[in-house]
Structure 1
Amino acid sequence: MTDLSDSSGALDWLDDVARRRRNEGLRRTLRPRERGEELLDLASNDYLGLATDPRVVEGAIASLRQWGTGSTGSRLVTGTTAEHIRLEEELAEFTGSGAALVFSSGYQANLGAVVALSGRDSLVVSDAGSHASLVDACRLSRARVEVTPRGDVEAVERALAGRGEARALVVTDSVYSADGALAPLAELHAVCRRHGAALLVDEAHGLGVRGDGGRGLVHELGLQGRDDLVVTATLSKSLASQGGVVLGSRRVRAHLIDAARTFIFDTGLTPAAVGAARAALAVLRDEPGLAARVLDNAAVLAAATGAAEPTSAVVSVILGDPVRAVEARDAALGRGVSVGCFRPPSVPEGTSRLRLTARADLTPGDLEQVRAVLGEVLADFGPVGELA
């Protein structure tokens, strides 16, 4: 019988790592939300304020009652319901895409799409500001990967012009998650066209906020439906649910069904999440002004904190030092306002920040509370930095 008291010390290094992170202000902890907690939420990605909307809740409940608690298997076996297909059709129609394929998360959608659309005989050019899921996808792709500075179109062009591989894929966020800045998608697409490369754009923070009625930055720029452009998005932000989607041509969808491992070998998205996403998408279709309201409220938050005028739901208040950023976040929380706190490795060294996210349902009273609370907090923690 194994003596459980006899430790080999094989994982004792974890204590040193934890101590170093704590000293550098980089230790993370979980803070469970409590039911009925009276906090003004400026930390979540519920951009349209639909996570508790009765219409969305009822959409989840209706699917739960019809299909049960789980999808029961992978999408290729038993995990595809008629509702999954309807959601895909509605997402494709809303965004102006040829087809859509739903995954169990946005992370899985990015992993599946990048790996399936690249490979050993290809080049992947990755924007340095890309989400961690795209970074991990590049690592798994087995392609040669070149990382270019954030938003640097000329660097992307140089990488593509100098390639020896037959195929190339450029990957980027449409809206950078840490500060809400917009990627130069039109210019990137033009470069890709010149060099016979495909472009993959993650619209996680663009869907529901940018474009006509929240159709995303790709749609806003008139790039929707291009055969050399693939869009990924999450259903967990503006659509107040869970899951991810890849939007592209019908042949891209067909290829992913055959080749995307995170689609083939993962359990399908739960019916309740599908129902909630469909209901949220219906609200967005019926109330196209929600997207503009998000941007209007983001402008108010930026003015209240001295940040630059935002181009998305995200308002970034740079404080520099991670310990200082955590203390500022906690001070705001103690005054009833929940804000995000981004520290390395999520952001570059020296740019730790408060990350505020606007929602469409913020009231004038909410915005006044933000002015008062963050005015006090930022007075204690020094001048507001510029957007990175």
Structure 2
Amino acid sequence: MATNPSLTSSWLDEFPARIAELDRAHLRRRRRVVLPESGARLQVDGQSMLAFCSNDYLGLAHHPALIEAACMGARSFGVGATASPLVSGHSAANDTLEQALAGFTGLPRALYFYAGYATNIGIIPALVGSGDAIFSDNLNHACLIDGARLSRAQIHRFAHADLGALETALAQSPAQRKLVISDTVFSMDGDLADVPALLALCERHDALLLLDDAHGFGVLGPQGRGCLAHFALTGARASPRVLYMATLGKAAGVAGAFVAGSDAIVEWLLQKTRSYIYATAAPALLASALRASLQLIEHDEWRREHLQQLIQRLRQGLATGLRGSHWQLGPSLTPIQPLLIGRNDEALAVMEGLRERGLWVPAIRPPTVPEGTARLRIALSAAHTDADVDQLVQALTELAAACQPTVAIG
């Protein structure tokens, strides 16, 4: 006799208990409804707050020139791309943007995607597969990790920035095709990869190097041209072993991503990347806005200069304000300033203390970061002022004084 499914337990009934477990572990995440105000201020769930959570590092997301370019793009091309880039979605605006991105990064050719996550989970399986080998920094972003898993290649994860471990793994691998993947600026720690050393290892072991410069593009290098320009690895010094990826929704202030490299590799990705072939192209109005963004990134050097001044101001202020505290500010010289707290509940409590003072700084917890390293991820922007940074330093100084040392970060 058949059993009535409605009278038996189902795995679907587990979800409330699983969500409750997230609550008990202080791991449940909640979305906030935001509206932009002025400068670095946002209205968050109806409350006006000074935000240190945005990746809009150069303060371009609400720039009038980008808004006007997007409006002109919409008037010229409409709102939607309507099809895949390989059908009818590759507009003249998108084509011009790809040429501009290649020229801006000093690489032969670029390919424009609708999103950064979709870029990495698509291009890695297009480059390597079963029988090949991937070598991945242990702190790489989730999209690089997921792209590696989707490729079905053998994955060798090495300790963060441990070039000796990477060289040993490369030397011992019998795979003919080897792919090294690494963030350039690591999204939760803010530190910078040793790109020249990574490239030297790839040259020595016949490997391809995929760099994710999501948090370096627009910020690093002369005129904000990214990590390769920062290390003088563009133009005549550009290596065919480097595939450069960057997102366009952070310092560039818009949306999307791109990969740039040799003509042959980019052509292969165009032919084989499923997240490019089978997805609707990015709307042309975004490409129009991004061309305006590239001009501002190139010419507004004051934005990067101001950003560097803010970074130093924050670090100097917290060096004094947190003296004696078990909280630790990571050794980052980029706009990503991680303040390690330790326990999940304490990081949430500090975040709440800041919220009560009108400051929004997100608490980052596992699995985004390793167990025991819950932190505040302070993100600075050229939209911040000196007074904004001083307000944050003062608030953190007060909260640190109110917290008794409990857990030291190992």
Amino acid at match of 2:21: R
Partner residue in 2 for 1:154? 164
In 2, Cα distance between equivalents of 1:285 and 1:266? 30
Partner residue in 1 for 2:397? 375
Greater mean alpha carbon deviation, residues 226-235 or residues 14-23: 14-23
Q: Is the 8 A contact 2:340 2:374 kept in 1?
A: yes
- 1:273 Cα shift? 2.1
Q: 1:324 aligns with which of 334, 341, 346?
A: 346
Identity %: 34
Question: For 1:287-366, what aligned pairs fall within 5 Å after superposition?
Answer: 287-306=300-319, 307-308=329-330, 310-366=332-388
Question: Unpaired runs of 5+ in structure 2?
Answer: 38-42, 320-328
Question: Unpaired runs of 5+ in structure 1?
Answer: none
**Aligned positions, number:** 386
Partner residue in 2 for 1:15? 16
Q: Is the 8 A contact 1:316 1:387 kept in 2?
A: no
Question: For 1:29-178, what aligned pairs fall within 5 Å after superposition?
Answer: 29-34=30-35, 36=37, 37=43, 38-178=48-188
Amino acid at match of 1:11: L
Amino acid at match of 1:272: L
Corresponding residue SS for 1:124: strand
| Alignment deviations for residues 32-82 of structure 1 (CA, whole Å, 9 cap, x no partner) | 113542321210101001111111111211111111111101110111111
Sort the Cα spacing of 1:90 and 1:334 in 2 relative to 1 into closer, same or farther, 3 A.
same
- 1:383 Cα shift? 6.3
1:240 pairs with 2:253: yes
Q: Is the 8 A contact 1:298 1:313 kept in 2?
A: yes
1:198 pairs with 2:208: yes
| Alignment deviations for residues 92-141 of structure 1 (CA, whole Å, 9 cap, x no partner) | 11111111101110111111221111112311111111000000000001
Sort the Cα spacing of 1:387 and 1:235 in 2 relative to 1 into closer, same or farther, 3 A.
farther
- 1:333 Cα shift? 1.7
Sort the Cα spacing of 1:383 and 1:297 in 2 relative to 1 into closer, same or farther, 3 A.
farther
| Alignment deviations for residues 227-269 of structure 1 (CA, whole Å, 9 cap, x no partner) | 0000111111001111111111111111111011111011111
- 1:159 Cα shift? 1.2
In 2, Cα distance between equivalents of 1:253 and 1:320? 42
Partner residue in 2 for 1:265? 278
Using structure 2 for the length normalisation, give the TM-score: 0.89
Greater mean alpha carbon deviation, residues 69-78 or residues 359-368: 359-368
In 1, Cα distance between equivalents of 2:158 and 2:232? 25
Sort the Cα spacing of 1:283 and 1:365 in 2 relative to 1 into closer, same or farther, 3 A.
same
- 1:271 Cα shift? 2.1
Structure 1 segments of 4+ aligned residues over 6 angstroms from their partners: 3-7, 383-388
Partner residue in 2 for 1:281? 294
Partner residue in 1 for 2:198? 188
Using structure 1 for the length normalisation, give the TM-score: 0.94
